[in-house]
Structure 1
Amino acid sequence: MSEDKKSVLQEYKLESDNELRFEVETKGEKVYLTLKNGLAEIFGTELVKAKTYEFTAGAKVAVFTWQGCTIEVKGKTDVIYIAKETPMVVYSNCHAALEIMRSVNEKNNKRGPIAMVVGPTDVGKSTLCRILLNYAVRMGRRPIFVDLDVGQGNISIPGTVGALVIERPASIDEGFSQEAPLVYNFGHKSPGTNSKLYGMITNQLATTLKERLEINKRTKHSGVIINTCGWIKNEGYKQILQAGEAFEVDVIMVLDQERLYNELVRDMPSYVNVVFLQKSGGVVEISKSTRSENRDQRIREYFYGTPKNQLYPHPFDLKWSEIKLFKIGAPPLPDSCLPHGMKPGDNLTKLVPLTPNVGILHHILAVSFAEKPDDEVILSHVIGFICVTNVDTDRQTISVLSPQPKPLPNHILVLSELQFMDSH
């Protein structure tokens, strides 16, 4: 099949174990896809026959069939082709192995398998997590999805880590339902910006998750799928080991990095099953500019929703006296100036009070669950996020964009380095 740009209407006949891959032009029109006959799925979610699915600019799609099917595609694509070599059979075998572990543990009333997906950037970690979660849900399970990739923000906005109970397959275009996630604010686009803080909130998320797994038997037996970021060297590798220990993982799936696989086999306890997997041939590298645009889009969707599920955020003013604003991390002190017993890295997790100023304009603020401004703010999960749209130093007010109307559910706010320019 030609990889030239296709327009208008095309019909593709796929044989068993084939995959139709296409990308929608970043500044192009929408592309429409319809399953005419047979059975097919997109990242583990089954397609409904004769239903038309809509894909917008920048979408990267892979339609897989186990038994053969006919697909109709309408619109202009950047690239479209049928792949006969795909890792879907291997990914399905991984799901089957996890399902056997779930069944055995369910009989013994033990928690289900905790699996972590690791590898460098742009190898399809998020996609593999989505496939495994969708397959689990289709078996009647209720697994928990944990996202430790602060640069992407699959569960909340970028700059956070979080967990979400998955109760139904992801919708083809909107992904998983985002109801009632457990979210911790990190406030940076990369774990390396403050690796000590990242380790602390990862451990806190793991501790909270263990408690919640004990509450619901169905979720407990279904286990956990953990997505990680692409930082895999030096300090990043240490973070992978730390996360593996904190979440007490049973399985680590390593995508497309034999060196990382061998290091984990060497360093992880013998009871952890480390598996090497090939990445899909359809995975493409994402440029820095596209990554930045994707982050902006995730934040925009948090406030305004998607074309199919529009939200209407609320602008209002807050008096400086109504809020307590903090940032996490103070400038480092020379070793000679450190108080007795304080280590050089301790400043990275110090809670610093802030007076609102023009420097916070367009920044995201996390609304904390913490009841009082002490160290629990750092390890507290968050209620949600607001964006600063104006700072009036004369009136001592800030204007914010909020998903819900005034008043704020809590007055303790934490500054994030992430910014959002509200163009609505």
Structure 2
Amino acid sequence: MTEETITAKEYKLDVESELRFEIETKDCKVSVELKLGSAELFGTELVKGKAYEFHTGAKVAIFTYRGCTLEVRGETDVIYISRETPMIQYLNCHAALEQMREKAEEEDTLGPIALIVGPTDVGKSTLCKIFLNYAARMNRRPLYCDIDVGQGTLSVPGMIASILVERPASLTEGFSQSAPLVYHHGHRSPSENSALYKMIIKKMAEVAITSRESNKGLKTSGIIINTCGWVKGAGYKSLLHAAEEFQVDVIFVLDQERLYNELLRDVPSKVKVVLLPKSGGVVERSKTQRGEARDGRIREYFYGGRSPLYPFSFDVKWADMRLYKIGAPALPASCLPIGMKPEDHLTKLVPVAPSPAILHHLISISFAESLEDDVLCTNIMGFICVTGVDPERQVVTVLSPQPRPLPPNNILLLSDIQFMDSH
């Protein structure tokens, strides 16, 4: 390690400025320590005198309202101080949401429901994190719903999920995810089964709204909803569907004026639509980088992040697997039974016989124990990954966060998402 790598460098930030850096070098880590003043990372405050470590793939923007001094140790690919930042606009939006919460408290009504929309790689997940952290710092308990199946900030990719946020996110571990509500979609994009996508969004919205009515803290704290970057054609219609099902009060549009004007035209006038700039530190990712991010999320599910986890590997007999996938091959309209819609095949449960074709695929373990249950809209218990298939012995080897056996009666849902276990 070179002397430059281990030497600490101090950066003095002016009022309302950001220190931005990226780490792309493999097996590299950078530590940041707040020496003077106050600063925050995506709404989470830094503790003075505490060193925070960031690893390969990190893209960090540390913001200060009043000025600060930061000490950075380690080698970064890019590092600079920016005085052009949209954080004041984001803060003003948080203040507007907080006013809506205060009004809801006074009138004993429901708090704000905010939908964050925009194309890919404009900082939607980051803006959600900022709003949630600011709300938690005001002693609120908002619900965070992530309906972006492509990346999966709360679960593995291919799912939608929600959690109750009771405290600001840890700078290293993120939000506490002890009891997420997860629904299976099984694809990288909503377009691969839009009928199922709309169905599980409707179910999540029903659960969210019911939860608000029975939880006083959640009732006024509201909901923050993160969406995918598919904003044209059917993707735009899915955004309108989500806005309608969640009964949103405000839509924040990041970095696309066309989408902003389309929403102004198409949503009810009572819904506020706000156009916001993206942060200058947002970086567009290639298809390869997005794939690596998906693999990283799955690896973290099984093996943990900073706090390591130790998954189990064991064999499961084919006869013990009740495996299904959602979606059957389409039939010509002339072959459909009377009353059946052409898109109904997309929400049909199809039995899957274990075979080498399922190797490396993720499988969701549903809480549903019978086909008579509403399997498609039943939440998910957890995930396993098929790491080996032996047709002669008729067993599959699975990677699991829990020891054997698998739940005996629960239905397993096959996902199109694949993961190559390199451990």
TM over 0.5: yes
Report the Cα offset of residue 378 of structure 1.
Answer: 1.2
Structure 2 match to 1:335: 333
Report the Cα offset of residue 276 of structure 1.
Answer: 0.6
Deviation per residue, 1:248-281 (Å, 9 max, x gap)? 0000000000010011011100110100101111
Structure 1 match to 2:401: 403
State the AA in 2 paired with 1:383.
M
Query: Is the CA contact 1:23–1:79 (under 8 Å) kept in the aligned structure 2?
Result: yes
Alignment of 1:385 onto 2:402: no
Query: Is the CA contact 1:8–1:76 (under 8 Å) kept in the aligned structure 2?
Result: no
Query: Is the CA contact 2:111–2:221 (under 8 Å) kept in the aligned structure 1?
Result: yes
Structure 2 match to 1:171: 170
| SS of equivalent to 1:214 | helix
Equivalent residues in 2 for 1:55-70, closer than 5 Å: 55-70=54-69
Query: Any runs of at least 4 consecutive aligned residues in structure 1 with deviations exceeding 3 A, and if so which?
Result: 5-8
Q: Provide the rounded CA distance (Å) in 1 between the counterparts of 2:129 and 2:45.
A: 13
| Residue of structure 2 aligned with 1:361, choices 356, 359, 362 | 359
| SS of equivalent to 1:180 | coil
Unaligned runs of 5+ in 2: none
Alignment of 1:192 onto 2:177: no
Structure 2 match to 1:133: 132
% identity of equivalent residues? 62
Q: Provide the rounded CA distance (Å) in 2 between the counterparts of 1:29 and 1:274.
A: 41
Query: Is the CA contact 2:368–2:410 (under 8 Å) kept in the aligned structure 1?
Result: no
Query: Is the CA contact 1:386–1:403 (under 8 Å) kept in the aligned structure 2?
Result: yes
Q: Provide the rounded CA distance (Å) in 1 between the counterparts of 2:337 and 2:117.
A: 39
Query: Is the CA contact 1:315–1:399 (under 8 Å) kept in the aligned structure 2?
Result: yes
Deviation per residue, 1:171-209 (Å, 9 max, x gap)? 112211111000001000011111111111111111111
Q: Provide the rounded CA distance (Å) in 1 between the counterparts of 2:171 and 2:133.
A: 11
Structure 1 residues 7 and 22: alpha-carbon distance in aligned structure 2, compared to 1, 3 A threshold: farther
Structure 2 match to 1:216: 215
Report the Cα offset of residue 28 of structure 1.
Answer: 5.3
Report the Cα offset of residue 7 of structure 1.
Answer: 7.3
State the AA in 2 paired with 1:376.
D
Equivalent residues in 2 for 1:64-103, closer than 5 Å: 64-103=63-102
Deviation per residue, 1:305-355 (Å, 9 max, x gap)? 01x211111111222222211001111112222222222211111110111
State the AA in 1 paired with 2:330.
P
Query: Is the CA contact 1:6–1:79 (under 8 Å) kept in the aligned structure 2?
Result: no
> Could you tell which deviates more after superposition, 104-113 or 13-22?
104-113
Q: Provide the rounded CA distance (Å) in 2 between the counterparts of 1:91 and 1:139.
A: 16
Equivalent residues in 2 for 1:3-402, closer than 5 Å: 8-27=7-26, 29-306=28-305, 308-374=306-372, 376-402=374-400
Query: Is the CA contact 1:19–1:65 (under 8 Å) kept in the aligned structure 2?
Result: yes
State the AA in 1 paired with 2:73.
K
State the AA in 2 paired with 1:223.
G
Q: How many residues align?
A: 419
> Could you tell which deviates more after superposition, 65-74 or 334-343?
334-343
Structure 1 match to 2:411: 412
Q: Provide the rounded CA distance (Å) in 2 between the counterparts of 1:6 and 1:121.
A: 33
> Could you tell which deviates more after superposition, 286-295 or 408-417?
408-417
The alignment yields a C-alpha RMSD, in angstroms, of 1.3
Deviation per residue, 1:51-72 (Å, 9 max, x gap)? 0010001100001001000011
Query: Is the CA contact 1:25–1:76 (under 8 Å) kept in the aligned structure 2?
Result: no
| SS of equivalent to 1:321 | helix
Q: Provide the rounded CA distance (Å) in 2 between the counterparts of 1:9 and 1:136.
A: 34
Deviation per residue, 1:363-419 (Å, 9 max, x gap)? 100000112024611111100101111122222222111111122235310000011
TM-score, normalised via structure 1 length: 0.97
Q: Provide the rounded CA distance (Å) in 2 between the counterparts of 1:416 and 1:106.
A: 42
Query: Is the CA contact 1:6–1:78 (under 8 Å) kept in the aligned structure 2?
Result: no
Unaligned runs of 5+ in 1: none
| SS of equivalent to 1:95 | helix
Q: Provide the rounded CA distance (Å) in 1 between the counterparts of 2:39 and 2:410.
A: 49
TM-score, normalised via structure 2 length: 0.97
| SS of equivalent to 1:121 | coil
Report the Cα offset of residue 295 of structure 1.
Answer: 0.3
Deviation per residue, 1:212-255 (Å, 9 max, x gap)? 12221011111000000000001000000000000000000000
Query: Is the CA contact 1:250–1:271 (under 8 Å) kept in the aligned structure 2?
Result: yes
Query: Is the CA contact 2:370–2:410 (under 8 Å) kept in the aligned structure 1?
Result: no
| SS of equivalent to 2:214 | coil
